[in-house]
Amino acid sequence: MATMTKLARPGTWQRLQRDGLPVVVILAAALVLWYVAAIWMNAAGAIERVLPTDAPWTWQDLVAATLPDPAQLGERMHGKTCAGTWIKGIGTNGLSREVYLYHVADNATTMREYGCQAVVWQTALNPVVALELIASGTWWGAGVHSPEAFDALPFLELLTEYGAPHQIQERSPFSVSVLRDSASFASGD
């Protein structure tokens, strides 16, 4: 009687190495080539404008001189950025529910009013609002708590006061609809 051996099915890590590694290597090589080409094309201007002609400089100086200064990019950026979270879980009715809670910031507005890019403003705003709620006693508790442990309503209302009105979209496999925006949220609808 012959015995049959079961062939082992490759695991996730093996499949990733076999299928994903070549793609990652090609993308990494393209990225490196992109930056090398950008440095090469900008080298003459950087040597002329930034690097000293009477003193020696290194390749690190050349690379730093060809890359843009992030602090000077904000005024030249246009458009809006969206920060949000997609929440999946069980609703109060016991059925599966998905919502997307988000707020949008305009880069021109945040540059004019706060002197920083929209993505920086959105990143900094949430901890500021949380700290204000803790300092006022609205959020309190002993020990370490995650943001989910606190009441969300005061947080969302204060975000709106700070100029970051939020919206909530119901998500389902078949449709997306705005459930509430910050105006209806504040009015209690």
Tens-digit pLDDT profile for residues 89-114: 888 888 888 999 998 999 999 999 98
Report pTM. 0.55
Contact by Cβ (8 Å): 99, 87: yes
Parallel/antiparallel/unpaired status of strands 96-106 and 166-171: antiparallel
Residue 129, classed as helix, strand or coil, is helix
Q: Which residues of the chain have pLDDT under 50?
A: 185-189
State the DSSP string of 51-110. S-SSS---HHHHHHHHS--GGGTGGG--SEEEEEEEEEEE-TTSSEEEEEEEEEEEHHHH
